[in-house]
Amino acid sequence: MSSETDLTGKLLIAMPGMGDPRFAHSVVLMCAYSPEGAMGLIINKVTDELRLDNLLEQLSIPKSPMARDLPVHFGGPVEHGRGFVLHDPSYESAISTLEVTPEFSMTATMDILEDMAQGLGPSDVILALGYAGWGPGQLEGEIAGNGWLVCDATRELVFAAKDGEKWEAALASLGISPLMLSAEGGRA
C-alpha cells in the first residue's frame, strides 16, 4: 500500500490464511486510518448472548415499546467493554459523532443508546462491542502478507446484507469466489 492510500471507509475482507482465528471470515469497516494506526469494526459477527435489550438493561436505560430489538456484534478483540454504533449519517449525537465517510458515521457515546431506547436514532445501525485496531504499519504488513483484501463499502453490503453472507458478498464485489481463494500467499 502506498503512503497516499487511505483505507478509511473501506472494507477489509479476511483471507482464508488469516492467522488470528478471531478474524476468520471477518469483514471490517475501517473507521479511521492514519500513519499512527488504524481502527475498524467487524460488521459480520454477531454475539450469541447479547442484544440491545440486554445492554439497555445493564446500563439502566429505560426502554420504550418503540425500541428495536437489535443484535450486538463482536466489533473486534480490543476493549470488549467499549461500545460503538456504526450508522447512517441521518443521526448525529449532540456529544460526538465521527463521520467516517458521507455514507457512514460512528458514535460511541451513551446518548445514541438512550435515543435508540426511545425508538429514535439512526435507521441503519450496527451495534458493536470492541474494535479492531492496528499500530503503525501493522495493517499494511498484514495486507502485504495476504491477510486481507480491500474493497469499497456500500450501505447495502454493510447494513442490508445478512451477517452470515457479508464475507461472500464483499468478495463478490471484487469478482472473487471463495472457492478461488487459497490460504497460501505468493508473489508473481
3 vs 175, residue with greater confidence: 175
Note the pLDDT of residue 21: 85
Residue 27, SS3 per DSSP: strand
Q: What is the pTM of this model?
A: 0.90
For the stretch 7-42, pLDDT in tens is 999 999 999 877 788 899 999 999 999 999 999 999
Cell of 65: 415499546
